[in-house]
A and B are shown apart, each in its own frame.
Chain A
Amino acid sequence: MKIGLFIPCYIDGFFPEAGIATLELLEHFGIEVGYPLTQTCCGHPMANEGDQLHSAAENFKSFEYIIGPAGSCVKYIKMLLDAIPQTNEVAQVQPRTNELIEFLHDILKVESFPWKNIGTDPNNYDPHYLNEAMRENARKKFLSADAGMTGVNFALAETGTFVVCPNEGNAGIGASVPPLHIVSMGIEKLIPEVTDLSIFISLLSRSALGTLATRYTSHFTGPRPGSEMHIIITDNGRSRRLRLNDFWHSLKGIRCGACMNTYPVYRRSGGLAYGATNSGPIGVIPDPTFDESKYSELPYHSTCGSCTDVCPVKIDISDQILKWRKVMAEKKYLPISRRLAFGTIGKVFEHPGLFRSAETATGSALRFTPHFLLYNRALNPGGRHRELPSFAKQTFRERYLQYKAKDHGQ
């Protein structure tokens, strides 16, 4: 079976690894993969210019299947490749084009990826069965590890102890088996005395899982005999936050997750929606202290007040979020100004010549030019929040040629 690999412009320039992985995966199944070097993209960004004949039809007419790892680009070809004369060749491209997963599942009928899985039955979803497989797989890794890393839930000034509260037992193995234990904690984890722990341990898991405590509450006051222990204590903006009268209370957080569990957006879509390491309602408070401009949208997310109600350490989360809104409004990070600016960004995408010529000129030009055009603050405040990922050092096209030269001695 000979297939044509269709790597859209976005993957070529920004995510070449996805292209290489697609190529390797297809070759793993013994498929002969051709990559027409003159392809550009699906034609979607340049629809108004009408370059579809070259980008799709000309390059791929000789392949049995055309496979791309990008759903929207593939869909564009399948549904909308109709702005050019519908010759026989063009008409053949449409039905032969498939998204990668669709191709693996519907056409190749792949049942498993034996070189990638841990030996589980792909049709068995039983959590007990899957847990057992995970346990067996992970244990080997724990036993062969040279170092174990843990975080910290609380640290005690009084005794120099730090406390780790897991349920799975992985932190226990990580700390008790390898000869080296590396510990990472933020400065706000520190509490004064041992008796204070009684309050916090009682609050933590009740507010997190609704259990009376975590399975393990481990107290480390030194390395175990014959092992090393290293503790990394990070500030990372916490001391700066301490000075912010309105927002320092967020440092009282014990990372139980109560505000996340009660917040509908987090429950439905998880933490990735926040675009920051600290997610959930509590994350909305520290995130802007790292980058006020980048996270200026976050305080517009949540106001029902449920987060404040459930917080076991009485952080006024929703009030603090409102205060951030005030800050953002005063600094004119208002959503309306972004909406108004969208006309400008469209103009740049309407000119494929800019994209193509910049890319073929080794790509370096693109690293500078469009950023200026796209993210010029006066033209487009919206770019601040929707910045493209940085351009890869090498495009897929460049990496493909190296891959071929290495593998096939060409």
Chain B
Amino acid sequence: MDSNTRNQVLSAVRSQLPATQIDYPEIPDFPKKITALLPAFEERIIDAGGSIYKPGSLKSAQFLLNQQFPEAKVICSASSDIQGNRDIHSVINPHELADVDVGVIRARFGVAENGMVWLTQEDLVVNALGFLSQHLVILLTPTELVADMYDAYLKVSLEDTAYGCFMMGPSATADIGAVLVHGAQGARSLSVYLV
């Protein structure tokens, strides 16, 4: 027997394939139900326990951030659009982000049907920013929206990034008494700034 376990698994699968061959299924062209992307996206963000803000400019976004989190001691921004007080580019070890109160990340695009935003390793700079921050502020250009997951997966290019995440609202659990609680292990809140 081949001592390479990889080959063992592969040959076991090859020799035991089902007798009936099935054609590779084609994904049907599902009718698009959402026509106005932005209102749908905003609604889904709120459903997911997130919140939506529409600052008119980056300057007002910065003002809004300080107003929304007056108690925040550590604000770490992975986007040059917003100023924080912790430089993410000088972070060597992800543990250095354990005390971040607010993390700011610019998303590539949003998905109208479910309120997801797409973040890659390049947007996060340090992936842990998306998970260790107590609160997240996601910057999103309001025109950068797709209707659904079919369009969303046409837009991502997984080969080009080691890590990419569709994030939908703050972290959540219903493990205790089947009651929905936000802020399980990840972010306690997620605000989308449309700017």
Q: Taking beta carbons and an 8 Å cutoff, which residues of A are in contact with B?
A: 125, 127-128, 130-132, 134-135, 138-139, 142-143, 156, 159, 161, 167-170, 172-173, 175-177, 187, 192, 194-199, 201-202, 209, 211-226, 233, 235, 239-240, 242-243, 245, 248
Q: Give Cα A202 to B187, complex, Å.
A: 23
CB distance from B40 to the nearest CB of A (A): 11
Given the known interface contacts A176-B130, A213-B116, the answer about A169 and B181 at a Cβ–Cβ threshold of 8 Å is: no
CB distance from B97 to the nearest CB of A (A): 8
**Cβ-defined contact, B185 with A168, below 8 A:** yes
Extra contacts, 16 of them, besides A173-B128, A214-B168 (Cβ < 8 A), are: A131-B173, A135-B185, A143-B95, A168-B186, A169-B171, A176-B94, A176-B132, A195-B150, A195-B153, A199-B27, A202-B149, A212-B47, A215-B167, A217-B168, A218-B163, A225-B162
A219 surroundings in chain B (CB, below 8 A) = 156, 158, 163-165
CB distance from A187 to the nearest CB of B (A): 6
CB distance from B186 to the nearest CB of A (A): 2
Q: Give Cα A169 to B171, complex, Å.
A: 6
Q: Taking beta carbons and an 8 Å cutoff, which residues of B are in contact with A?
A: 8-9, 12-13, 16-20, 24, 27, 44, 47-48, 92, 94-95, 98, 113-116, 121, 126-128, 130-132, 148-150, 152-154, 156, 158-159, 161-177, 179, 181, 183-187
B17 surroundings in chain A (CB, below 8 A) = 242-243
Chief secondary structure at chain B's binding surface: loop
A175 surroundings in chain B (CB, below 8 A) = 127
Given the known interface contacts A156-B158, A177-B94, the answer about A170 and B184 at a Cβ–Cβ threshold of 8 Å is: yes
A242 surroundings in chain B (CB, below 8 A) = 13, 16-18
**Cβ-defined contact, A212 with B115, below 8 A:** yes
Given the known interface contacts A173-B132, A213-B114, the answer about A221 and B161 at a Cβ–Cβ threshold of 8 Å is: yes
Closest residue on chain B to residue A130 by CB atoms: B176
**Cβ-defined contact, A159 with B168, below 8 A:** no
A211 surroundings in chain B (CB, below 8 A) = 48
**Cβ-defined contact, B121 with A245, below 8 A:** no
B126 surroundings in chain A (CB, below 8 A) = 176
**Cβ-defined contact, A167 with B172, below 8 A:** yes
Given the known interface contacts A177-B132, A198-B150, the answer about A221 and B187 at a Cβ–Cβ threshold of 8 Å is: no
Q: Give Cα A132 to B184, complex, Å.
A: 8
**Cβ-defined contact, B170 with A215, below 8 A:** yes
Cβ-neighbour of B131 out of A138, A173, A196, A199 (below 8 A): A173
Q: Give Cα A213 to B47, complex, Å.
A: 12
Q: Give Cα A124 to B177, complex, Å.
A: 13
Given the known interface contacts A143-B95, A172-B130, A173-B185, the answer about A217 and B165 at a Cβ–Cβ threshold of 8 Å is: yes
B172 surroundings in chain A (CB, below 8 A) = 167-168, 215
**Cβ-defined contact, A217 with B116, below 8 A:** yes
6 contacts between A and B (CB under 8 A): A128-B179, A143-B95, A169-B184, A177-B94, A219-B165, A225-B162
Given the known interface contacts A176-B130, A194-B153, A201-B149, the answer about A216 and B166 at a Cβ–Cβ threshold of 8 Å is: yes
